Amino acid sequence: MKNLLIIGLLLILGLSPAWCDTLILVDPTTLNGSFESGSGNIPSNWQTGLTVTEVYRQIPVSAPMPAPEGSYVLTIGRNNTTNYPGCLLNTGYNVKSADTFNFSFQWDNAGGWDSNDQFEWRIFTTSDDTLSGTITTIANGTGTGSVGSTVNLFPPVVPLTAGGTVTGANVGRDVWVEFFINPANGNVENNSYAYLDNVVLSVNTVPEPSTTMLGLASLLAWLAFQRGRKNRA
């Protein structure tokens, strides 16, 4: 019985926010985080929208080679005054209030990309889960200039260290991931490109209190039953 009480105590302690599950939302085998799945130069799952006018994958034609994850990389950049390759993805995961996120990707400069060029990334939700809704950002950042890589090496970038900021507007909405060129910054010339690969996004999610409380109530009921049996004996 003493051991059973210890188990109950541990479960109660598990109600603290430190107890959480990590769920993979995007990686090379989940939602095509390495861009290996697709048809021709079009990767599956990823889409256009907002400022992303084209989604284009390729086998790298300049250093570094090969791609760090499989054969393909995704191109981000600008190939004329109005065409901005990048990528968008709806993960389908609904944000919870206590969620924090882990995010990493690998990239390198490619053709025409110089020290002034910059792409942007963001993790966000919208007010109606479509790209027509109002955007609320969870986390965002940039990739700027040359990353100084050597052949066969894409330096890993882990820009999200604080876990992102979840607000009430994010809760209950789908998580989106976007890599894009912002035409407003004016830093990317025509025919300038970067390579992107190995996108990984996960979420640290705390179980809903109702679920945890149900498990606790079941355990306490079982403990009471076992105690009753012992008393009758």
**Sequential DSSP letters for 62-103:** SSS-S-SSSS-EEEEEESSSS--B-EEEEEEEEP-TT-EEEE
Flag whether pLDDT at 88 surpasses 70. yes
**Per-residue model confidence (pLDDT) at position 60:** 86
**Per-residue model confidence (pLDDT) at position 72:** 93
Q: Which residue has the tokens 């206590």?
A: 98
At 174 the three-state DSSP class reads strand
Instruction: Calculate mean pLDDT across residues 90-107.
Output: 92
**Per-residue model confidence (pLDDT) at position 232:** 58
Domain 20-206 top-level CATH class: mainly beta
Q: Which residue has the tokens 């990528």?
A: 87
Instruction: Calculate mean pLDDT across residues 197-208.
Output: 86
Write out pLDDT tens, residues 185-198. 767 888 888 899 99
**Per-residue model confidence (pLDDT) at position 17:** 47
Instruction: Calculate mean pLDDT across residues 84-93.
Output: 97
Higher pLDDT, 67 or 155: 67
Please answer whether residues 208 and 95 qualify as being in contact, where contact means their C-beta atoms are separated by less than 8 angstroms: no
Burial class (CB in 10 A: 0-12, 13-18, 19+), 232: exposed
Q: Which of 45-54, 84-93, 183-192, 193-202 is predicted least confidently?
A: 183-192
Higher pLDDT, 113 or 1: 113
Query: Which tokens go with 18?
Result: 């430190």
Higher pLDDT, 17 or 134: 134
Q: What whole-number percentage of the chain has pLDDT above 90?
A: 43
- From the list 40, 42, 44, 68, the residue with the least C-alpha distance to 196 is 68
